[in-house]
Structure formats: structure tokens, C-alpha cells
Amino acid sequence: MHVQQNIDLSPYNTFGIQASAKAFTTVRSVSEVQALIQSPAFTQQKVLLLGGGSNLLLTQDFNGLVVKIEIMGKEIVRETDDQVVLKFGAGENWHALVLYCVERGWGGVENLSLIPGTAGAAPMQNIGAYGTEMKDVIVEVEAVEIRTASVHTFSNETCAFGYRDSIFKQQAKGLYIITAITLALTKRNHALNISYGAVRETITALGYAGPSVKAISDAVIHIRRSKLPDPAVIGNAGSFFKNPTIPAAQYAALQQYYPAAPGYPAEEGMVKVPAGWLIEQCGWKGKRTGNIGVHQHQALVLVNYGGGKGNDLWQLALQIQRSVKEKFNIDIHPEVNVV
């Protein structure tokens, strides 16, 4: 185990925030995880687990140990004519994993193309896009319990997936290091999801005769490239806030003042309102203060134009949160992990 001191974390977070870690190490296997968590380097200071740093806002230097998860590997666990079950190391890049599956014609993750980050972080917030979520394909999550160093397996059900939520953000928060995920994908009779109009239209625009695993993946990549800022160009962590759900009665009242207010049915009696719309109505879209701001085309995406401070971004997020509360009496909560 090699622990480095005073490491600049700017290459390790997609906001590109300059913050230093007092100590930094990488783990490449389950046994390395087990050895690390029993060592003083781990037990005697606070710890931050890191995948691709694409859902992270560093508001200050990290006065502890950053552990970058680099457990690689992919294997077919079992296979029939209809289905393939695959296990991926937590450090595998999510989008590369998606392309690996799409190239083989395996269905299930195509709508999740081009989401940054690692396989191991994907179940944390039950990543989702274009009508598909992690919970739709995951069989189990392998994780090492920090207290005992033992390996646990969480079934899909025990992961308690919800909208951008899982047991790993709730009861099991900070208790486990995810080391692998297992996914079940279809080899034929795919349950293709083209519920989003933009995906259907883009498939046609790209010249595909109809939806397929590859067509959907290509369409999603195309849409995302045209819509979302590339973190390699402008620092960001995707959607900063989760979309709030409000009681149907509150939504009806909102529509009286704002007939165009978008809303989508959520759990019983609740309506999901796009946080981006709320933020835009508060006048934040495109606002820039110094090196940070709100993206000009995506009100939900906070950006670091270069040299921005993490704490300034956090203060901006709090201001946005307050203004949405004042204008609409709706609470919006960060999707991004703020450290």
C-alpha cells in the first residue's frame, strides 16, 4: 500500500476544483481494500472514497485519506440464449462498460450511455437517464464492510433503490466500500426504452430504421453531447440538484400562477417538478460570478469556468436553493456529494 501526501485533487474531480488531500492512495483488489481498512492510515483519519469524482463538490482541502477505487475486471458469471449476467470491478469506467455491452448487442444499459464515473459509484445514487435506472439491470452489489473487513453481497432488493438513492446513501452510508457490481442484460427480446421523444427523434435523425440497443446508445450519446457541457472543457458534475416531488395539490396551485409549469406523476399523490425549470424561473440560468456560474443552456448544471473555488460553488448552490424556496416554497436538494 502506497500512501502519498498532499495530493492535488483537481485531476480527480470533474468540477476541476483545486483542493488537496492530506493523504491519497489507490486500491486495486478486494484484498487491498481489506488490508487498507485495517491499517492506521485508514482507521486514524477521516476517509473519502473516490471513483471518477463526477458527483462530488470539494468545498475545501480534505484533511484525511482519499481512497481512489481502481478495482478493474469484467467477467461473465452465467449466460443463456436470452440473458448474460456480468460482474464488473468497481473501478471500471461506466461508459466504457456500456459500450462493451452495446458492441456485443447486450441490452439494458444503452440508455445510460455517456454517464461519467465508475461502475462502483453507479449504485450509490441509482444512476438514471432517459427512462432507465441502475436498479433495472443490477443483480447484486459486492461491498466490503469497513467495520469487519468482510465481503457482503447486496441483492437488488436490499440495495433499496429509489430516485437517485440507495441504501448506500441512507442506512449503509459510510459503512461499505463497493468492490463490484453484477448486471443482468438481455441477449435478445430486449426491453428497449424509447419513452423519451428526443431519443425516438434522434434515432430517426441518425438514419436508423428503428430502435435497437446500438441505435438507442448512439442517440443518447448524441443528445448528451449536444445538451450537457463536457467536463473536460467546462468543469461540472452534471445535474447539481435532484428534481423535487411535491403534493399534487401544491402542483395544482403552482399551475394557477405558472400554467406552463412542467410536472410528471411520481409516487401516489405526488408530482415531480424539474429542478432546472424552477431554477430558471428564479433567473439563474446563465448567471456567472467570476469563475463560477450556472450553465447558459442548463439551469441545473453549475459550472467552474476555471480556477473557481469549491466553497464559492457551494455558496451559489445555497443561494439558488433559498431563492427556489422563497419563490415557490419548494425545497430542492443537492444530487452532488458535497465534501
Ligand X SMILES: Cc1cc2nc3c(=O)[nH]c(=O)nc-3n(C[C@H](O)[C@H](O)[C@H](O)COP(=O)(O)OP(=O)(O)OC[C@H]3O[C@@H](n4cnc5c(N)ncnc54)[C@H](O)[C@@H]3O)c2cc1C
- Among candidate residues 140, 164, 166, 217, the one labeled active-site is 164
Q: Is 14 in the site for ligand X (CB under 6 A)?
A: yes
Residue 37 vs 86, nearer CB to ligand X: 37
| CB distance 222 to 5 below 8 Å | no
Question: Residue written as cell 460482474?
Answer: 87
Instruction: Name 165's bridge partners.
Output: 162
| CB distance 27 to 244 below 8 Å | no
| CB distance 146 to 175 below 8 Å | yes
Q: Is 200 a catalytic residue?
A: no
By three-state DSSP, how is residue 149 classified? coil
> Which residue of 238, 274, 293, 308 would you call a contact of ligand X, by CB under 6 A?
238
Q: Is 180 in the site for ligand X (CB under 6 A)?
A: no
* Contact stretch for ligand X (CB under 6 A) within 52-60, 97-105, 187-195, 313-321: 52-60
* Contact stretch for ligand X (CB under 6 A) within 25-33, 236-244, 261-269, 280-288: 236-244
Q: Is 239 a catalytic residue?
A: yes
x/- string (CB under 6 A) for ligand X, residues 85-104? -----x--------------
Instruction: Name 265's bridge partners.
Output: 271
Interhelix angle for 213-227 vs 197-205, to 10°? 100
x/- string (CB under 6 A) for ligand X, residues 192-231? ------------------------------------x--x
- Strands ordered across the beta sheet of 270-272: 245-247, 270-272, 264-265
Range 54-83, binding ligand X (CB under 6 A): 54-56, 69
Instruction: Please count the helices (runs of H) and the strands (runs of E) in the chain.
Output: 8, 20
Q: Is 34 in the site for ligand X (CB under 6 A)?
A: no
- Which grid coordinates are listed for 91? 473501478
Residue 189: CB minimum distance to ligand X, A: 26
* Cα-based distances in Å from 162 to 117, 136, 170, 289, 321: 19, 11, 11, 34, 22
> Which residue of 25, 26, 51, 273 would you call a contact of ligand X, by CB under 6 A?
51
Compute the Cα dihedral for 101, 107, 108, 111 and give only its sign: positive
**Residue positions annotated with a catalytic role:** 164, 239, 335
The site for ligand X (CB under 6 A) is made up of: 14, 48-56, 69, 90, 115-118, 120-122, 124-125, 127-129, 177-178, 228, 231, 236-238, 337
